Amino acid sequence: MFRNCAIIGCGQTKHTSRRRDVSVAELAQQAVQAALDDAGITMKDVGCVVSGNMQGFGGVAQPEQWLGDWIGCPGKPAIRIATGGTTGGSVGQGACYTVASGMYDVSIGVAWEKHSDSKEAGATTGLMHVGMGNLFHALTYGLSLRNLIATSAVGAAAGVAVYQAMFYMHRSGCKQEHLDMVAAKARRNAAKNQYAHLQWPNCRPEDIAKTETIAWPFRYGHVCPASDGASCIVVAEEKTAKRLCKQPAWFLGLASYSDEENQLQSENFGGVGVIDPSEQMGCRVSAKKAYAMAGITDPQKEIDLAEIYQPFPSQELIFSERLGLFDDGTAWRHMEKGETDINGRLPISVSGGVNATNAIGSSALQRILEAALQIQGKAGEHQVPKKVRKAVAHGWGGVTNYITCTVLGDSPR
C-alpha cells in the first residue's frame, strides 16, 4: 500500500567543472545540509538515508561507505542505489518508497558526482571501466581496430545519442537548427538558475551554431558538461509534511520500466533487439504507468511542466513525445513556437536541465527536485509564471534502456 508522502525540502550545491574546494564527501554533505535547512529539520529527524552516484566516474568504489558519516548515515539504514544515468531518479523514488511503505516518516535522498576527481576528460573514466570487458572480448576475436575507433570514437562521439538524434530527425523532419534552439534555451534558462553549470545569459541559437561540429548533427554547443555537484531531497509522510511545509510537492505517480539493452552492442558483444534507439519503449510504458497511478488521463492537457533528462537537445524533443506531452514527431514544432519556454504553455526543463548541468549521479534527482521547486513556488528567478499543479520529472540512462518517471503535484493523492 502506498501512503501519501511529499518533498518538503530541496538542497543543491553550485555545479561547476571543478569543485576542487571540497572533497566529494564534503560536496555531498553541502547538499544534504541545504536540504535539511530548507525543510526546517535536523539530521536527528531523518529516519533513512538513500544515496547514489556512478562510482566509476569519481574513482571511489562504494562511496556510500566513506561518505556515510558526512551524509548522516550513522544510526540509520543506508541504502545505495546505482542505475546508471537514472541513479538520481531511482534515489528519489527510493526515498519515496521508504516513506510511502510506512517504514519511515522522514527520509533523505542524496545523489552526487565529482567528475573533476578523474584525470581523463569529460566522463571518459566512467565509460572506460564500463566498456573494458566487452572491448577486450571483441579484440580477442580480431575486431578491427579501425572499425572500433571509427564506430565508437567517431560515430558515437556523443554516445548512442548521435544515432538516436539521426533516427528522430529522419522520422520527424526536425532540423539541426531546432537542436540549436533547444540548446540555447537550456543555457538561457540555466543563467537564471543559481546552481546550474553552463550559464549563458540571453544565449541565442546563432551562438550555438557558431560552435564546431563533433559528429553531424551534434555541435560542441549542444553537448552537456561534466559537472561536479550534489543534490538532496527530504521526503516526509503526510502529517509531517503538512505540519512542516506550506506547499509540499506530493508524489502522485512513480514508475520505472527497464527495457532490454538499447545501445550499439549488448554484453558479450551480442546484438541488441532494438533497431531504433529513439523508440524508447521504456519511456512510453513508464509514463503510462506513472500517469495511471496519478490519475492523469490526458497528459497533454493535465501536465503543467516537465523536467526532462536531456544531456543532448534531441532528447528533449524525443522524450517529450514519449512522455505523451506532444504527438509523435511534432515536439520540434511546438518548441519552435515557444510553447516550451519559461513563459510558455508547457515549460520544459526551465532549470536548464541536464544539457546545462550534468553531475551524472545527481542529474535525474535534480529533475525531481526542480519539478518540486516549481510546485512549491521556490525556484527563484527561473520560477514559471503560471501555477504548477502537476509536473512530470523524467530520468534516462543505463545502456539507453533505463527510465524513471515521477509525477508530482500540489495536493496529495
Q: Which residues in the 142-201 window bind another protein by CB under 8 A?
A: 142-151, 153-156, 162-163, 166-167, 170, 187, 191, 198-201
- Of the two residues 212 and 328, which places its CB atom closer to another protein in the complex? 212
CA gap 287, 394 in Å, rounded: 9
Cβ neighbours of residue 152 closer than 8 Å, sequence gap 6 or more:
264
Minimum CB separation from another protein for residue 364, in Å? 23
**What SS3 class is residue 80?**
strand
Which of 334, 288, 340 is closest to 310 using CA atoms?
340
Q: Per CB under 8 A, does 136 bind another protein?
A: yes
- Of the two residues 87 and 265, which places its CB atom closer to another protein in the complex? 265
Q: Per CB under 8 A, does 45 bind another protein?
A: no
- Distance between first and last Cα of the chain: 13
- Of the two residues 214 and 293, which places its CB atom closer to another protein in the complex? 214
> By rule CB under 8 A, what count of residues binds another protein?
88
Residue 113 zone, left/alpha/beta (φ > 0; ψ -120 to 50; rest) = beta
Minimum CB separation from another protein for residue 329, in Å? 15
- Of the two residues 93 and 280, which places its CB atom closer to another protein in the complex? 280
Minimum CB separation from another protein for residue 198, in Å? 6
Q: Which stretch binds another protein (CB under 8 A): 212-220, 323-331, 364-372, 382-390?
A: 212-220
Whether residue 250 contacts residue 409, with contact meaning beta carbons closer than 8 Å, is answered with yes
Interface residues for another protein in 13-32 (CB under 8 A)? 14, 16, 18-26, 29
CA gap 273, 136 in Å, rounded: 23
Minimum CB separation from another protein for residue 85, in Å? 19
| Interacting residue with another protein among 102, 132, 220, 411 (CB under 8 A) | 132
CA gap 376, 393 in Å, rounded: 15
Interface residues for another protein in 63-102 (CB under 8 A)? 68-70, 72, 74
Minimum CB separation from another protein for residue 28, in Å? 10
Minimum CB separation from another protein for residue 413, in Å? 32
Grid cell of 318 as nine digits: 524525443
Q: Per CB under 8 A, does 62 bind another protein?
A: no
Place of cell 562521439: 157
- Of the two residues 1 and 145, which places its CB atom closer to another protein in the complex? 145
- Of the two residues 43 and 293, which places its CB atom closer to another protein in the complex? 43
Count the neighbouring beta carbons within 10 Å of the beta carbon of residue 201. 9
CA gap 168, 136 in Å, rounded: 32
| Interacting residue with another protein among 40, 77, 173, 270 (CB under 8 A) | 270
Count the neighbouring beta carbons within 10 Å of the beta carbon of residue 14. 14
| Interacting residue with another protein among 5, 49, 50, 60 (CB under 8 A) | 60
Q: Compute the CA torsion angle 243, 251, 394, 376 (nearest 10 deg).
A: -30
Whether residue 373 contacts residue 101, with contact meaning beta carbons closer than 8 Å, is answered with no
Which amino acid is it at 334?
H
Interface residues for another protein in 223-252 (CB under 8 A)? none
Q: Per CB under 8 A, does 273 bind another protein?
A: yes
- Of the two residues 197 and 390, which places its CB atom closer to another protein in the complex? 197
| Interacting residue with another protein among 269, 288, 339, 377 (CB under 8 A) | 269
Q: Is the dihedral of CA 294, 362, 398, 334 positive or negative?
A: positive
| Interacting residue with another protein among 49, 111, 272, 365 (CB under 8 A) | 272
**Which residues is 408 bridged to in the sheet?**
251, 391
DSSP string computed for 220-278:
GGGS----EEEEEEEEEEHHHHHHH-SS-EEEEEEE----S--SSS-GGG---S-S-TT
Minimum CB separation from another protein for residue 21, in Å? 5
| Interacting residue with another protein among 45, 76, 116, 247 (CB under 8 A) | 116
Minimum CB separation from another protein for residue 129, in Å? 5
